[in-house]
Structure 1
Amino acid sequence: MTATDSATASPASSTGTRSGPRLSLGPISYYWPKDQVDAFYQQVEHLPVDIVYLGETICSKRNEVRFEDWLAIGERLAASGKEVVLSTLSLLEAESELLRLRAICENEGFLVEANDMGAVQLLRGRPFVVGHSVNVYNDRSLAVLARSGLKRWVLPVELTADCLADMQRLRPAGIETEVYAYGRLPLAYSARCFTARARNLPKDDCRYCCIDYPDGLEVATQDDQGFLVLNGIQTQSARTNNLLPELPRLRELDVDILRISPQAQGTDAIVQLFDQALRGDKTPAEASAAIQPLMPSGACDGYWHGEAGMDQVAQV
């Protein structure tokens, strides 16, 4: 996201009083140059998000921004009034990754989002968050995690609104619920790097080619329809999950936090539109219509409605 793009895309400032869920900004899923990451979070300091997740969650070889850099970014964001959470890798394969995981979990300054059960084990006895890659599918799982220190959980993206309703009725007291409300859907993780494979490169000599795809590498069907996105070891949906039209239902379900996943362009405008809908300056439908041009490959919301994930059910 550049300053020029930001100025062009950002809507007018919100004026109403925000009600309902808080807003969070998820960790950057893609491999961006350090200068781009630094510029992005300088803008985030001034955006109306309450919580910011930081760190590398996909591949440990992405080292443009190192652990010490993430801590420094976190300090600046905390000074601007944001709650900062450090996110862990979703798939660990090497001892070096375990050492990094321990450093994150042992930090004294910030809450940690555990993205696999190894991180949960290291965080037992301390407050922590579990991300959408941890398979929390029922209230019994929530209860087990709550006894270990769980503060907040993120709904797995494949679960439906009706499933969430059941879990909300039985969730342990004091546990916050966060929903992945905007962003390409994280579908799968693999030991193989599909981006490197697409360039005919082995994973061990990938030449860090992910950095050439700031929103991932889109895969199309034979009739040229966007289908999936390759993001290193992660596979994402080509379409962007957008639950902003579901804001009344999300409020009814007592969801505490809505997560927006960063994209290379337009994230600031998307945050502003969510904020305006929460404040009542725009209806959810109006804000969602304004978001449509900012999506790389169109919208989807099928999982939320119990349909195929790539479907768009809500009419905007």
Structure 2
Amino acid sequence: MNVPDLKITMGPVPFLWSGERWRDFYFGIADCEHIEAVTLGEVVCSKRDHFTRPFLPEVLDRLIASGKSVALASLALVTLEREIQLTRRLASEDHMAEANDLSALSLLAGKPHLVGPFVNVYNGATARMLARHGATRICLGPELPLEVVGAIVAGAPELEYEVIAFGRLPLAISARCAHARAKGFSKDNCQFVCGEEPDGLDVDTLDGQAFLTVNGVQTMSRHCQVLLADLDLLARAGVTHLRLSPQDCDMVAVAALYAAVRDGNLSPGEAVAQLARIYPQVPFANGFAHGRAGLEWVAA
């Protein structure tokens, strides 16, 4: 497999990490030669923003100095006045922004911006409309089969397209916090208990089947999306960027594996085997990309 035109990007940290850990993580990404673009910022819960906000200027400076293309992501759900203000501030800044909510799209209309995976883009007509309003790249929703991805790209080929190629998938955002409730707290008095699980809180069905992962107000897949064996199919569908979603593992090593497969220096099978050692005890899946149930694994 040799698809060098695919660019590797790093997405926002979805979990609550300490500000220092968040800063050091992106410092490491700045030094990673395989990653060309980075999107960062608080997407899940506005209450977490104060953990990372003090470190944002130095992280931005470090990433930009390393030659990365950087964008700041908006919240995926805007319901409170402080969240409205955060979104307005994001739209007014000089940095490239990624819209993950329709309110952000409205504020960014007319200036170049990215569109994140929380905005539903299911056809070429929607992609063309977003392009007319300033979108330059769309990170498509993780549930889309590659056949649909190809149809969207064909309907709006002027845009760049990104897919989540690694990480637990974002499935839903709620106004309530199941993570806090599971630990006996309310959302308003959550005590930031989501920080106790740096990779999310796993949820099983009543009969013990691995099911989902809760991350604050977000519901994520229990399985980790791994598209190492599908890079040629992604390139044929017109995808230009592979997004790696930060998980509680060595993400620089993950990026190196994706680059090695992309460049034809490592087989997908061997890369998956190495990835299982980097990110153990988490099941892998690629079902959505193949039009199957998201938790399924479709062999190359």
Task: Please give the TM-score of this superposition, normalised by the length of structure 1.
Answer: 0.90
Root-mean-square deviation (CA), in Å?
A: 1.5
Match of 2:93 among 66, 91, 107: 107
Between the two proteins, what is the percent identity of the paired residues? 37
Matches within 5 A, 1:15-94: 19-47=4-32, 48-67=34-53, 69-94=55-80
How many angstroms apart in 2 are the aligned matches of 1:71 and 1:162? 40
How many residue pairs get aligned? The number is: 297
Q: Which runs of 5+ in 2 are unaligned?
A: none
How many angstroms apart in 2 are the aligned matches of 1:295 and 1:103? 39
How many angstroms apart in 1 are the aligned matches of 2:68 and 2:6? 15
Aligned residue for 2:150, secondary structure, equals helix
Aligned residue for 2:164, secondary structure, equals strand
How many angstroms apart in 2 are the aligned matches of 1:296 and 1:151? 37
Does the CA-based 8 Å contact 2:19-2:52 persist in structure 1? no
Alignment partner, residue 255 of structure 2: 271
Alignment partner, residue 307 of structure 1: 292
How many angstroms apart in 1 are the aligned matches of 2:255 and 2:234? 17
Aligned residue for 1:179, secondary structure, equals strand
Aligned CA distance change for structure 1 residues 51 and 295 (closer, same or farther; 3 Å): farther
Aligned residue for 1:313, secondary structure, equals coil
Residues 1:284 and 2:271 aligned together: no
Shift of 1:44: 0.8
Letter in 2 for 1:312: W
Q: Which moved more, 1:283-292 or 1:229-238?
A: 283-292
Q: Which runs of 5+ in 1 are unaligned?
A: 1-16
Residues 1:185 and 2:169 aligned together: yes
Letter in 2 for 1:87: A
Alignment partner, residue 241 of structure 1: 225
Alignment partner, residue 120 of structure 1: 105
Residues 1:298 and 2:283 aligned together: yes
How many angstroms apart in 1 are the aligned matches of 2:166 and 2:198? 17
How many angstroms apart in 1 are the aligned matches of 2:41 and 2:49? 10
How many angstroms apart in 1 are the aligned matches of 2:35 and 2:72? 16
Q: Deviations over 1:264-298 (max 9, x none)?
A: 22212111101111222102222122112315421
Letter in 1 for 2:122: Y
Alignment partner, residue 141 of structure 1: 126
Task: Please give the TM-score of this superposition, normalised by the length of structure 2.
Answer: 0.95
Match of 1:205 among 189, 194, 208: 189
Q: Deviations over 1:188-217 (max 9, x none)?
A: 111110100101111100001111010000
Does the CA-based 8 Å contact 1:54-1:74 persist in structure 2? no
Q: Which moved more, 1:250-259 or 1:77-86?
A: 250-259
Aligned residue for 1:203, secondary structure, equals coil
